[in-house]
Structure 1
Amino acid sequence: MKTSLSSVFLFLTIFTSLQFSSILSRKLTQSPYSTSIFDVLASTNQALNALSIKPKHLQTHSHLPNSSLSLPLYPRLSLHNPSYKDYDSLVRARLARDAARVQFLNRNLEHSLNGGKDFGEVTNGSLIGDSITAPVVSGQSKGSGAEYLAQVGVGQPVKLFYLVPDTGSDVTWLQCQPCATENACYKQIDPIFDPKSSSSYTPLSCNSQQCGLLDRPNCNSGTCIYQVHYGDGSFTTGELATETLSFGNSNSIPNLPIGCGHDNEGLFAGGAGLIGLGGGAISLSSQLKASSFSYCLVNMDSDSSSTLEFNSNMPSDSLTSPLVKNDRFHSYRYVKVIGISVGGKTLPISSTRFEIDESGLGGIIVDSGTIISRLPSDVYESLREAFVKLTSSLSPAPGGTSLRLPARNYLIRVDTAGTYCLAFIKTKSSLSIIGSFQQQGIRVSYDLTNSLVGFSTNKC
């Protein structure tokens, strides 16, 4: 049964140089306006079926015909499906990981603004003339902290690993043998990488250029040591090295910096490590000297997949907005937002509420690792009040240049009883976040040459 709410419309619009519009209708009546139909039965069935998804064991890469570098990207449940007694338990586990993720983002920003070292501009790296693509899957199935995982080839000979794509951090790393102690490596589905088995693995010295790009570099017997700490107490530490990474069936890029973690704990259990896609100089996109990268996140309850791509063209129908640079902190991908409207009416929020101030606080980022979008308390309360007020009687918002989000992108199912919540959470932090729930089914493209972010629907 489909629930259509045609006589009542909710247009939730986030204005950048584009508009994100979503429509919620509440009654089965005729309307001259187009509406978004929320298929409650399909949503219920997908939620129930999510617990019975059988994990895939994929060992091949997709390869785009235009030679772009592409990695398969999978939702977590499609690769590793832990035993949950019901959908409620699955949602609670996701939200717990999500809270830890947001805590990490805020602590990482605070560390840098309080005197921690940030990154400079990259001065060397591997130049890629062709574009690169990798498959992207959901992290739920792998047991990792994030909901999506990409399959990457590491070393020579190539061995495949599932890593978490992360637009909010810079260091690319994976667990390595030997583990520092018996419990220093968490359980992952792939065998733990042994650097001795790869002819292309080379540890970096403390005075190497790549070591100088780390946020908190250390030195051990002349070898560069990296360390990354996450908001829930999780961490990874080990030696920084260069290694060959493989994208697709034929694209292998040598001498890319990668962390080889010998002591790892917590958040990323299941996945082999992380792909750093932040704006810092040591991130994978910076080291590849990529002109662009993009990803499309499939529904996290599905067993389908999409791709993470480097140097591929932005879809022609993409709605674009400027990427904003935080001069105090380069890792996060900020986007220009000037306001929010509900039901076609702009909320009484100053555009400065979404700007980065001189201290480096504020602004709004697009993040692949956060699930539920975060808004400062006053902004959230204004949005929530308008949502509640207008769901009983709304006039349709005007058209124009807008990206219309279906109800599944802003109404999140939280249990098997059919309870849905508005997929926004208030935060005491000044940092706002557009989370992955709102990004499902949309190809998010970063034009790094022209400092633009684009959004294109149905491009997974």
Structure 2
Amino acid sequence: MVGSSSPATIILQISIFLFTFPPTFCNFLPSQTLVFPLQTQNFPHRLSAASSSSDKLSFQHNVSLTVSLAAGSPPSMVLDTGSELSWLHCKKAPNLRSVFDPARSSSYLPVPCSRPDCATRTRDLHIPPSCDPKTKLCHVAISYADASSIEGNLARDTFVIGSKTRPGTLFGCMDSGSSSTSEEDGKTTGLMGMNRGALSFVNQMGLSRFSYCISGLDSTGVLILGDARFSWLGSLKYTPLVLETRPLPYFDRVAYTVRLEGIRVGSKLLPLPKSAFVPDHTGAGQTMVDSGTQFTFLLGPVYTALRTEFLKQTEGVLRVVDDPNFVFQGAMDLCYRVESGQPDYKSLPDVNLIFNGAEMRVSGQKLLYRVNGSGGNNQVYCFTFGNSDLLGMEAFVIGHHHQQNLWMEYDLANSRVGFAEVKCDLASQRLLSRV
């Protein structure tokens, strides 16, 4: 979620996949590949039960990407590839369906202020931890762009994923906070971070590679922890990660940052200098690939150029909403009115995001998103690119909506991200038949 989105709502946001894992215990083997089936559904719904196999699970989908795991005693939690510190709700509240109770876990250990974990292991957190004067425990806090926040104490416990366990995993045991999305928060127990930070699930589990394939609603998908080398997958196109060691005010050093070099609409390359895509001396302008953000957001000048060209090429094909003040989700101001049926997706020009060494094609239904509440003969569809400036973001963010039906591989061993066009429902069928 780029460290700034609420874990279960949508201001820049997200699509949520929830998985429940039975607490089975054995040693974690970083070299072993784990395959998990996914099944998308519309939110809100009750959580699906886990299947009989400890390595098979189902999930539910609104508009972000998350995964549930078992930790200590029975509760499940949610995974986000754009966040670092994993956390669990540790205080009962009316809106929460379940919470993590430290008293019920024999493996739970709070982290005191005096431990090195409270300082040296938390260097990547946006808000430095502090010492709770009453409990003498390491206090952590996380805030999000939608004004929600969560805080509590740093702790250790055993985390379980499928049939694998990780004793002594560091996480936040959160007992207070404010949220504008209590209804959505009640659907989850916590969050599991998957970015490149020292405290992320990736680093604590010793993962060198993971992959996922996201499909649309009411379809299937797959999550792979470990190597994913399949003959039918074909060749992935890789783009190197941009690694920054200097602490810059607007650069997230533990995000999956890549180099965006241009954008093409149909056959027309946007007339922008390469400097428009390069971070400045403060770090503002980095490009992050984030499964925790729903749509794709571009800095103002680049967004304006894309908007102008897309408008030009769709003139006579789509009818713009006649209200100049209509903005969807605070940053998407190019919306169309469709009087009946669906837009003619085949007549829309592709939008190609050009990276160093690879291109990501956005086409068809991935270009437009139907606004909830519009229906009948007065449907509204919005362009799935937004203006980062309107959200106060200093970055380009490639969201999961544009990652649908792409095999996405995060190769930490070789510091790169790879992707290839794949039918995710077929990919999951191939893989799950072997599980």
Q: TM-score, normalised by structure 1?
A: 0.65
Residue identity opposite 1:422 in structure 2 = F
Say if 1:441 and 1:262 are closer, same or farther in 2 by CA, change over 3 A: same
User: 2:351–2:361: 8 Å Cα contact kept in structure 1?
Assistant: no
Cα shift readout 1:194-218 (whole Å, capped 9, x = no counterpart): 1111121111122333321333212
Say if 1:56 and 1:363 are closer, same or farther in 2 by CA, change over 3 A: closer
User: 1:56–1:79: 8 Å Cα contact kept in structure 2?
Assistant: no
Residue 432 of structure 1, CA deviation: 1.0
Distance 2:152 2:56 in 1: 25
Identify the residue that residue 39 of structure 1 maps to in structure 2: none
Residue 227 of structure 1, CA deviation: 1.0
1:187 aligns with 2:64: no
Identify the residue that residue 161 of structure 1 maps to in structure 2: 76
Distance 1:294 1:396 in 2: 25
Identify the residue that residue 381 of structure 2 maps to in structure 1: 420
Identify the residue that residue 357 of structure 1 maps to in structure 2: 280
Say if 1:264 and 1:404 are closer, same or farther in 2 by CA, change over 3 A: same
- Percent identity over the alignment is 29
Alignment of 1:237-276 (within 5 A): 237-248=151-162, 250-266=163-179, 267=181, 268-276=185-193
1:302 aligns with 2:223: no
Cα shift readout 1:246-289 (whole Å, capped 9, x = no counterpart): 111x2111111111111133243421111111222111112222
Instruction: Give the gaps of 5 or more residues in structure 2.
Output: 1-16, 48-53, 316-346, 429-435
Identify the residue that residue 230 of structure 1 maps to in structure 2: 144
The structure 1 residue matched to 2:396, chosen from 432, 435, 439, is 432
User: Pairwise CA RMSD of aligned residues?
Assistant: 3.5
Say if 1:243 and 1:161 are closer, same or farther in 2 by CA, change over 3 A: same
User: 1:69–1:251: 8 Å Cα contact kept in structure 2?
Assistant: no
Residue 138 of structure 1, CA deviation: 4.3
Say if 1:231 and 1:405 are closer, same or farther in 2 by CA, change over 3 A: closer
Cα shift readout 1:320-345 (whole Å, capped 9, x = no counterpart): 11111233332322111111111222
Distance 1:396 1:227 in 2: 41
User: 1:318–1:456: 8 Å Cα contact kept in structure 2?
Assistant: yes
Q: TM-score, normalised by structure 2?
A: 0.68
Residue 297 of structure 1, CA deviation: 2.6
Residue identity opposite 2:235 in structure 1 = D
User: 1:363–1:432: 8 Å Cα contact kept in structure 2?
Assistant: yes
Count of residue pairs the alignment pairs up = 337
SS in 1 for 2:240: strand
Residue identity opposite 2:409 in structure 1 = S
Cα shift readout 1:327-368 (whole Å, capped 9, x = no counterpart): 333232211111111122211112222222221111211112
Identify the residue that residue 375 of structure 1 maps to in structure 2: 298
1:342 aligns with 2:265: yes
The structure 1 residue matched to 2:313, chosen from 386, 390, 393, is 390
Instruction: Give the gaps of 5 or more residues in structure 1.
Output: 1-54, 83-131, 141-145, 180-184
Residue identity opposite 2:243 in structure 1 = K
Q: Which moved more, 1:377-386 or 1:214-223?
A: 214-223
Say if 1:188 and 1:445 are closer, same or farther in 2 by CA, change over 3 A: farther
User: 1:203–1:223: 8 Å Cα contact kept in structure 2?
Assistant: yes
Residue 456 of structure 1, CA deviation: 2.6
Say if 1:376 and 1:317 are closer, same or farther in 2 by CA, change over 3 A: same
User: 2:69–2:78: 8 Å Cα contact kept in structure 1?
Assistant: yes
SS in 2 for 1:137: coil
Higher RCO (CA < 8 A, seq sep 6+) = 1
